[in-house]
Each structure stands twice: as structure tokens, then as C-alpha cells.
Amino acid sequence: MRGLREYFIGANLRSEPDVLRRASIVLVYNIMLVSMSTMVVFFFVYIFEGHYRQLIKTFIVMSLFASALFYFKARGSIAIVCNILLLISWSNNIINIYLFGEFNFFIALLSCANILFAFHTLGNRPGLIYAAAHFIPILVHEMGKYFGWNIYNPTPRQLPFTEELTALVLVFFVIVYLIYHYHQAYELAKAGLHQTVKDLRVAKDMAEEMNRLKTNFLSNMSHEIRTPINGILGLSQVIDMETDSTDIKSYVKLQQQSGQRLLNTITSILDLSRLEAKHSQLSLKQIDVSKLTLECIHSLGLLARQKELTFTYHPADEPLLCLADETMLYQVINNIVGNAIKFTEKGSVEVSTSSLSNVSAVISVRDTGIGISDEFLPRIFNSFEQESSGRSRSHEGSGLGLSISKKYIELLGGEITIQSEKDKGSTFEIVLPLHQP
């Protein structure tokens, strides 16, 4: 038996990674083998009893089962073989009912076994189709007997004792085996689900621990790096004040620019680590958004003039009072407007504040810069991501400004939206709830 199993399904079992599918392969093979063995018994019973029409039918069924078995070995297609088995069994029931006048307990039991097998191996929809295909002929047969529809009314043939006993054992075995296999598959799937949930919990705990360690590392390293940078910047200011050399002053200026850029990056990393660790503390107070935006505009005006950009600001007609952290909101506005200026080489940057239905304050920043592609737009607020990266990067930056800005605004109960078209510009909108005193 092991040799037959290895010959017909050994290769399919070894190549199939899914445990449940391997179990289904074994199920189909076992049912085919039992059916073939039963057909052989019936074949000799019919020869002994002289039932030649049943003998021919049994020979045809045996041939079909054997063909299905070899097809299963060659192709390994469970669905096709299952359909073949079900169609053979269904056809056998139809022949027995309408050609031999046999409808009894065994045919009903075999129909139930076929329906269980269809649902278990093929799924719900094929199972319902095969259930209807088995039920309708039986219903028509019984209604025909009741109403006298004599399409073909042969004399019912009494099953020989050997055939009756074999059929009972076979059908009972198939039904019990199907139920047992279904229960085993259920238990296997449940165990696999429990293991998956356990693995996910372990992975979640590990990810949270790694994130905590990363946050602590970034926070500690940021503090350790900021201290010597501040010392370097302070020393460069002393050198700038005490020297009269033009060359040294130019070197000091370059040193201060580079140091300030590094300090800004370290500060951004520190802010991000605080946000991810949820250690940021809000100092909320009532703020006029239009006035705070004007202060930020004044600090960035020089940068816009150096690039010869048209830089305009249109404040709202009425005060826009929000309950927010002033330092945090100032940094967000500075990031958004600063980016608009940085990524605009020619044209204009327009900033405006307005009220949205007397419910929200809106800070709008519109530029005619390089814009953002549709592919990168969903990742625009991801940390450390920029559309141009590597050595092909055209603008400096750490890729943290927008990520930090989005997290800050969400802490304040607002949102940031963006509309952009590549090479035509972008529009950012910061929306905050208005505060009703």
C-alpha cells in the first residue's frame, strides 16, 4: 500500500507546501483507492450473479476511476479529479434510479457522502451545485412514483447480500472518513491560527521593544552630539568677532552654516524620537494663527528675496484663535513655508490664512516649485524619505520636516493636506480647530 501511495501521490505530497492541501490530496487518494477496491468486489459479484448490465456499468466505472487516478498522478489537480469522482458517483446514482429502478437507503447515504465530499474538497459554491444535482433527480423520481409518471419503470432488483453489505460498509466508511478528515483539518487550521497569533504577538512585542531602544538611542545620541556642536558654533562666533581677516571670516561663515545644518538635523531627530515615544508635552494656549504666521513669514522673507521669488501673505480678515502649542505650531509653519521656498526656483510662494465654516482655521501655502509626483505623494509624510535620494538628490534635507509637522498637527487635533502636480507646484493646507473662548 505504501508503494502504491508513493507511486501515485508521493511527488505531489513532497511538492505541496500547504499542510491542508496535502491532507486533501491524501483524502482524495484514499477515497479513490477504496472505491476502486469496492468496484473490483462488485465486478466479481455481478459475474457470479449473472447481472451483465451491472457488470458493464461497473467495468466502465472502474475504468473511469483508474483514469482519474493516473491523471491525478500526472497533473496533481485535486479539483478536476474531485469533479470526476463526483460525476461518476452521481451518474451511477442516476443509472441505478432510472435504469435499474433502485432508490434505497444506500443511494440516499451515498448522495449525502457525495455532497459532504463536494463541500469539503471544492468549496461552498460547487458543494451547493452538487447538492442540487443529487437532490433534484431523487425528487423527480419520488414525484413520478406518486403521480404515476412512468418514463421507465423496471422491476426493482433486490441487491445481493454481499453487494448490500459492501455498499453499506463503503458508504459508512466514506462518510465517517470525511467527517474525521474535516475535523482534523479544522483542528490543524485552528492550531495554525493560534500559532500565527502567538508569532504575531511575539513579533509585535519585539518591534515595540526595538522601537523603544531606537528612540532611546536617538534621544541619547542627539543630546550627546548637540552639546559639542553648540560648543563649536559658539567658538566660531568668538573667532568671527575677534578676527579681521576676510578669509578667516568666510571660513567661519561656512563653518557656522554647516554646523547649523547639522544642529537642525539633530534637533529634528530628537523631536521625532520624542514624538514616537509619545514624550512630547503640549503647552497649550490661545494663539492668533494669522499673527503667528506673519512672524514666521518675516523670518523667511530674506530667503525668498535671495532667490528673487514673489513672496506674498494674505491674512484672514478676522482673528483666527486656536488652542495650540505656539512653539510647535511655529515650527510647523516654518517647515511648510521653508520647504515651499526651498523647492521653488522661480515664480512665487503665496501664504494665506482663512476660516473654514467658522469651525477651523486654515493656513494655505501655495508655490510654483518642482511639485511632487503621484507615485511619491502617498509617502510624502514618511520619515527620512525624499523624492530625490542618493547622489542624485537636488536639494538638501533630512526628510524629517514634513513627518514631524504632520505628527505635531495631529497632536494639536488638526490635519495637513496636500495637492501637487509634478513641475507645476504644490499646495499645503494646515487645518486646525478654532477655539471658542
pTM of the model: 0.50
Superfamily of domain 284-433: Histidine kinase-like ATPase, C-terminal domain (3.30.565.10)
51 compared with 346, residue with greater pLDDT = 346
Q: What is the pLDDT of residue 392?
A: 47
What's the rounded Cα separation, in Å, for the pair 318 and 53? 99
pLDDT digits (tens, 9 = 90+) for 371-400: 988 888 888 888 777 776 544 455 565 667
Q: What is the pLDDT of residue 420?
A: 92
Q: Say whether 399 sits in a helix, a strand or coil.
A: coil
Confidence bin at 182 (pLDDT 50/70/90): low
What's the rounded Cα separation, in Å, for the pair 238 and 224? 22
Listed in sequence order, the residues at least 6 apart from 365 whose beta carbon sits closer than 8 Å to its beta carbon are: 336, 337, 340, 349, 350, 351, 427, 428, 429, 430
Helices (H), 123-160: 124-147
What's the rounded Cα separation, in Å, for the pair 357 and 194? 50
Q: Does residue 352 register a pLDDT over 90?
A: yes
Q: What is the pLDDT of residue 151?
A: 53
What's the rounded Cα separation, in Å, for the pair 85 and 39? 13
Strands, sheet with 348-356, edge to edge from the N-terminal-most edge strand: 310-314, 348-356, 360-367, 425-433, 415-421
With pLDDT > 70 as the criterion, what percentage of the chain qualifies? 81
What's the rounded Cα separation, in Å, for the pair 88 and 63? 11
Helices (H), 148-242: 161-242
CA trace torsion 313, 314, 319, 324 (10° rounding): -40
Q: What is the pLDDT of residue 363?
A: 95
The answer to whether residues 257 and 294 touch, using CB atoms and an 8 Å cutoff, is no
pLDDT digits (tens, 9 = 90+) for 97-116: 777 666 666 677 777 777 87
Distance of CA 22 to the CA centre of its chain: 26
The answer to whether residues 304 and 266 touch, using CB atoms and an 8 Å cutoff, is no
Q: Name the residue ranges covered by the structural domains of the chain.
A: 2-159, 284-433
Mean pLDDT value across residues 392-409: 73
253 compared with 168, residue with greater pLDDT = 253
10-24, 38-52, 149-163, 227-241: which range is least confident on average?
149-163
Q: What is the pLDDT of residue 108?
A: 74
Confidence bin at 282 (pLDDT 50/70/90): confident
What's the rounded Cα separation, in Å, for the pair 4 and 349? 79
